[in-house]
Amino acid sequence: MEKLCIRGGAPLRGTVTISGAKNSAVALIPASILAESPVIIDNLPHINDVQIYIDILQELGATVQLDGSSLYIDPTNISPKPLLNGKVQMLRASYYLMGAMLGRFREAVIGLPGGCNLGPRPIDQHMKGFEAMGATIESQDGALSLSASHLHGEKVYLDVVSVGATINIMLAAARAEGLTIIENAAKEPEIIDVATLLTSMGATIKGAGTDIIRITGVPKLLGCRHSIIPDRIEAGTYMIAAAITGGDVTIEQIIPRHLEGITAKLEEMGIQVIEEDESIRVIGDRPHTYRSVDVRTGPYPGFATDLQQPITSLLSLSRGTSIVTDNIYTTRFRHVDELGRMGAQIKVEGRSAIIKGAQGLKGARVKASDLRAGAALVVAGLAAKGITEIAGVEHIDRGYDMLEEKLKALGAEIWRKDERVNSHGA
Ligand code: EPU
């Protein structure tokens, strides 16, 4: 079993370049299924979720070639083969195969998605959209079978603001007949990214990035070339890492506007954040000089739930008591006990973590239960005294491109070890 080891204490200094957004990549790759000629996606992050999606597309019959950060996908020979288990159960975003296959073939049989265990993650709003557009859905043996003899535009009001449902409905609607209107749509930058790709493929989409999106279906979409937006969650993680180590880091190739939630909170804590056109510089101090703040997650442009876990690590070292409330995933607190092993003083009450600033963190053996819990432990480990050993590295590898290389270049002492190799002395 692999572990990530960090000897904490070194202030991070230098420049880090942010990769393409994971949550865009895992929607853009299945979106390519809707085209009938090759699509090239640039600025692809090298993460496991992307590799899994590449394998799934190949299994469906696509020709796929990865050249550095560019992915060539020829979806011409894809067939609507049922994908009951295996890779589809390894990631959350496999649900986008439903919208994309429905749009192109009017049918899909897809196993229920996997992904991080963050408590209940229903997909009822995706289904509500597909049904409104004329699809029949049957659930059988852990898979959903969708078909539509006449896939047509419809008005769909989302009962909860959902990134996944907004994108999935947009995918199906791009090749449905007539006008689909998504009301109470999610406004995340990744939604605009998918709409941009679809528009370059020939779709007609208005309002992406607002809460009403209008999609006029077209009979055919063609390939194009598209570059993925920067990963705002990766960028936010490095901003927190800079702050918690009292470092000075410039985070490059980003869209600062996408980071307003985390920028505002760091500034409220008294941390210096300097915004440029395509970069942000975070200049930290000793963490116990930072003010405590309350954080409430919400749909974009609210504070991202995906940064809730990493900012909890930072707040565990600041002055006073902070309350972090997760309104998106109300039980996303599995990192808290692990941070406790490192000396953090955090109590979970309902959907909130109450964090009492501690004098310092100490290295410990901890386990990442999910991707962003892993990020929280990494940033905590960077600030802790001694060595932190993080198990569950596979979760972190799902979403952070070249994490060790990027952190090492900033001066962190971080390495991977294989427990089996070490225990046998090999
Ligand atoms: N929800 C429903 N019904 C639905 C869909 C969602 O009740 O049909 C609820 C969810 O349970 C949750 C809320 O609505 O409480 C928002 O869920 P959303 O659908 O927006 O989440 P998602 O699309 O499944 C994406 C990201 C997550 C990120 C959330 C929120 C991908 C692949 N995943 O998930 O990313 O936390 O949006 O921003 O895009 C991560 O990167 O670590 C991660 C978990």
* Interval between CA 163 and ligand 1 midpoint (Å): 6
Measured by CA distance, the residue closest to atom 6 of ligand 1 is: 162
114 band by pLDDT with thresholds 50, 70 and 90:
confident
The whole-number average pLDDT for the span 299-317 is 98
Mutate to test the pocket of ligand 1, among 95, 131, 328 (most ligand atoms within 8 A of CB): 328
Q: Which CATH architecture has domain 2-19+230-422?
A: Alpha-beta prism (3.65)
User: Which DSSP string corresponds to 348-408?
Assistant: EETTEEEEEPPS--B--EEE--SHHHHHHHHHHHHHSBSEEEEE-HHHHHTT-TTHHHHHH
Peptide bond into 299 cis (omega under 30): no
Task: Dump pLDDT digits (tens) for 197-221.
Answer: 999 999 999 999 999 999 999 999 9
The pLDDT, as a whole number, for residue 124 is 94
Domain with CATH 3.65.10.10 in the chain: 2-19+230-422, 22-227
Out of 116, 198, 241, 390, which one is annotated catalytic? Answer: 116
Separation between Cα atoms, residue 168 and residue 386, nearest integer Å: 45
pLDDT digits (tens, 9 = 90+) for 127-182: 999 999 999 999 988 889 999 999 999 999 999 999 999 999 999 999 999 999 99
Distance 393 CA to ligand 1 centre (A): 22
In whole angstroms, give the CA distance from residue 363 to residue 353.
21
Which atom number of ligand 1 is nearest to the Cα of residue 300? 38
Please give the mean pLDDT across all residues of the chain. 95
Taking 50 as the threshold, does the pLDDT of residue 42 lie above it?
yes
Distance CA 301, CA 334 (A): 25
Tell me which residues have their CB closer than 6 angstroms to ligand 1: 23, 26, 92-93, 116, 121-126, 160, 162-165, 186, 233, 305-306, 328-329, 371-372, 399
Per-residue pLDDT band for 425 (boundaries 50, 70, 90) equals very low
What does the block give as tokens for 7?
A: 């000897």
Q: Determine the 3-state secondary structure of 161 from DSSP.
A: coil
Helix extents (H) in 68-162: 96-105, 124-132
Instruction: Provide CB contacts within 8 A for 349, sequence distance 6+.
Output: none
- Give CA–CA dist 173/336, Å, rounded: 41
Q: Looking at the predicted structure, is the pLDDT value of residue 78 above 50?
A: yes
pLDDT at position 420 is 67
Greater confidence, 274 or 426?
274
Per-residue pLDDT at 84: 85
pLDDT at residue 70 tops 60: yes
CATH superfamily of 22-227: Enolpyruvate transferase domain (3.65.10.10)
Q: Which atom of ligand 1 is nearest to the CA of 91?
A: 32
C-alpha to C-alpha distance for 293 and 376, rounded to whole angstroms = 17
Please give the Cα distance from 264 to 262 (Å, whole number).
5
Closest ligand 1 atom, residue 328 Cα:
15
3-state secondary structure of 274: strand
User: For residues 29 and 97, what is the distance between their CA atoms, to the nearest angstrom?
Assistant: 10
Q: Identify whether the C-beta of residue 1 lies closer than 8 Å to the C-beta of residue 418.
A: yes
| Token pair of 302 as six digits | 């609210």
Q: Tell me what pLDDT residue 191 has.
A: 98
Which residue minimizes the CA distance to atom 7 of ligand 1? 122
Q: What is the pLDDT of residue 424?
A: 38
Asked if 116 is an active-site residue, the reply is yes
Distance CA 401, CA 164 (A): 22
> Does the pLDDT value for residue 263 go beyond 70?
yes
116 has a pLDDT exceeding 90: no
> Three-class SS of residue 178?
coil
Of all protein residues, the one whose alpha carbon is nearest to atom 23 of ligand 1 is 164
Residue 237: band (very low, low, confident or very high) from pLDDT cuts 50, 70, 90: very high
Whose C-alpha lies nearest to ligand 1, atom 2?
122
Query: pLDDT by residue (tens digit) across 348-404?
Result: 999 999 999 998 999 999 999 999 999 999 999 999 999 999 999 999 999 999 999
Q: Best mutation site among 19, 22, 23, 158 for ligand 1, i.e. most ligand atoms within 8 A of its Cβ? A: 23
Enter the DSSP assignment of 110. Answer: E
* Measured distance CA(282)–CA(276) in Å, rounded: 11
> Which tokens in the block code for residue 134?
């004329």
For 138, left (φ over 0), alpha (ψ -120 to 50), or beta? Answer: beta
